[in-house]
Structure 1
């Protein structure tokens, strides 16, 4: 399972398509879903005669969220011509398996097309999928005609939708292509200045951890932030329990620092106890973010973790340079999962 940045999509798409089993040339079954939102359960038989786009995504993935405005716009624009868009929500983290969290997320991001809740990756496995986000395009006979892995190629994808709809006997679509302009977390990445990779805080996948003594697994431990972090190193301070998937702040005042280079810094966070918010403050190079604050904090760097999701903490104006980000968890009980950038 991999998140894809835009520049990786072409080679990955070609390799992945070559690896698809013969059965995947037709629309695979969707009965691996554990539930459906925005409509009843759908099957390949229900969709025969329709052009179908299947979008694999997960709501804490920045790459998935930046694709949502385009998928949402296609679903609205071409629904009357016979297009059916299906979102398959296949989770990365444990909290994304909760249907209540998925329901909240699709409402928050304005997703109004059918969504299969794929909490056990049954649909993911039926497609032999490996990537977030992924788009699969099926013609009206149920034959897969193309797949896109990662962000980008939106004009190409929309032109293919028009072609498949025309082949199905619909009037050729005319006019300009969708010009989806996402805002907040959905805004396109600044690829020119993105030099920091996705970084996990759980020990199963973490890299570049810089606190002295390395990670102590699955039990509380006191950590320190070293005096100097090099680019893309991160560190903890205070008492934390680091598990496979996340790091949990055990007492008030825990901190995480990261030296990054990107316009945007996002952090997947959640409260350990549902309904118990965790207050925090952030700094850049030891100062409040000011105009560089993201949508989930104010200019003083203050915010609240009230749901398990991705939080946009930094969106800095040009010019972009290396900076040290620090978050202080004023309350205990924060779960930290991963940094992503844009």
Structure 2
């Protein structure tokens, strides 16, 4: 009996020792989970070798959502900063704004700051009052800086709307994304940078990275962005100009896809084409799911929207009512919205006074 008891006691002792060893191995992963450095965190030496430092905002032309006070990236040192280069009439920029607003609401209290660098594409986007209205309309609460002279745009070496640069707590640009999409990827990088900030500050706990995304795919061919002004208009197909700007335009019977046709008298300036006769027409054979027009007028005008020669009914965009669109404010107007990509001939019939800047397609 004593021998048996001794054997049993030995087995129990061994089990206790093994259990203790296993417990010791497991303890660091559970109790100290929030105290270890984030796996993606790099040393300052590694960051310097891999990333560039941020470029400061240069000669700003105005501020929105800052209570009239100037803002710099340097003044936000110690925070994670997302610099978003945009312009308010750009549809690609507009589609990213709900994500930016959501991130600002979710992570502002965790140390994220967003700066919207508004670099204008058209002259009317230089006006502070127009930018202020757009910021209000899009429900943007983060600071917006006007970059009317493109000095900050050029300093960053940028060529795109929109573009996002993520700056970490050490001032390094750790992420760069051009255009729309990659929203989960961008948010993941924001969370990684914020978790590094929390670790460095000794704050217990980490933010969870999102797993869902709403990717935007442009794999289906669509019509290209098309400008009306002479500086960037390489698609005008049918106008005869007596002077640099005053043109008479007659519509060809055979409309070529992705070529811009004007009908009537038009004044073509470097930035826009202005209708100079009653019932002037814009004609464009497009392939897209959505069609947008950047336009304005001194006084409100009503333009008729035709699709394949008939007044539009189904497929009308948000700004079209009863086959017509009212145009005055300098902005992007939503003309067409289908459930999928389609091919059609769009006609815009307008009185004189319409200034058309660009078509964009989605």
Residue 306 of structure 2: aligned partner: 283
Indicate whether 1:64 and 2:93 are aligned: yes
CA distance in structure 2 between the aligned counterparts of 1:172 and 1:282, rounded to whole angstroms: 53
Does the Cα contact within 8 Å between 1:258 and 1:325 map onto a contact in 2? yes
CA distance in structure 2 between the aligned counterparts of 1:281 and 1:193, rounded to whole angstroms: 28
The 5 Å alignment of 1:88-127 reads: 88-127=117-156
Does the Cα contact within 8 Å between 2:183 and 2:213 map onto a contact in 1? no
Does the Cα contact within 8 Å between 2:187 and 2:210 map onto a contact in 1? no
Q: Which structure is larger by alpha-carbon Rg, 1 or 2? A: 2
Instruction: Give the number of equivalent residue pairs.
Output: 306
Change (3 A) 1:193 1:216: farther
CA distance in structure 2 between the aligned counterparts of 1:216 and 1:25, rounded to whole angstroms: 52
Residue 208 of structure 2: aligned partner: 174
**Greater RCO (CA < 8 Å, at least 6 residues apart):** 1
Indicate whether 1:156 and 2:185 are aligned: yes
Residue 293 of structure 1: aligned partner: 316
Change (3 A) 1:32 1:337: same
Residue 32 of structure 2: aligned partner: none
CA deviation profile, 1:287-333 (whole Å, cap 9, x unmatched): 122120001102x3211112011111001234x4321000011x321
With normalisation by structure 2, the TM-score equals 0.80
Change (3 A) 1:66 1:194: farther
Residue 33 of structure 1, aligned match among 60, 84, 107: 60
Residue 340 of structure 1: aligned partner: 360
The 5 Å alignment of 1:48-63 reads: 48-63=77-92
Residue 207 of structure 1, aligned match among 234, 253, 273: 234
Residue 325 of structure 1: aligned partner: 346
CA deviation profile, 1:9-49 (whole Å, cap 9, x unmatched): xxxxxxxxxxxxx9x92222224211110013212331111
Residue 316 of structure 1: aligned partner: 338
Residue 9 of structure 2: aligned partner: none
The 5 Å alignment of 1:152-301 reads: 152-169=181-198, 171-174=205-208, 176=210, 191-211=218-238, 213=240, 218-271=244-297, 273=298, 276-298=299-321, 300-301=322-323
Structure 1 stretches of 5 or more lacking a match?
1-21, 181-187
Residue 306 of structure 1: aligned partner: 328
The alignment partner of 1:125 has SS state of helix
Change (3 A) 1:324 1:189: farther
Does the Cα contact within 8 Å between 2:313 and 2:323 map onto a contact in 1? yes
Change (3 A) 1:25 1:192: closer
Change (3 A) 1:190 1:249: farther
CA distance in structure 1 between the aligned counterparts of 2:320 and 2:154, rounded to whole angstroms: 38
Does the Cα contact within 8 Å between 1:220 and 1:250 map onto a contact in 2? no
The alignment partner of 1:241 has SS state of strand
Where has structure 1 moved over 6 Å in runs of 4 or more? none
Does the Cα contact within 8 Å between 1:194 and 1:263 map onto a contact in 2? no
CA RMSD of aligned residues (A): 2.0
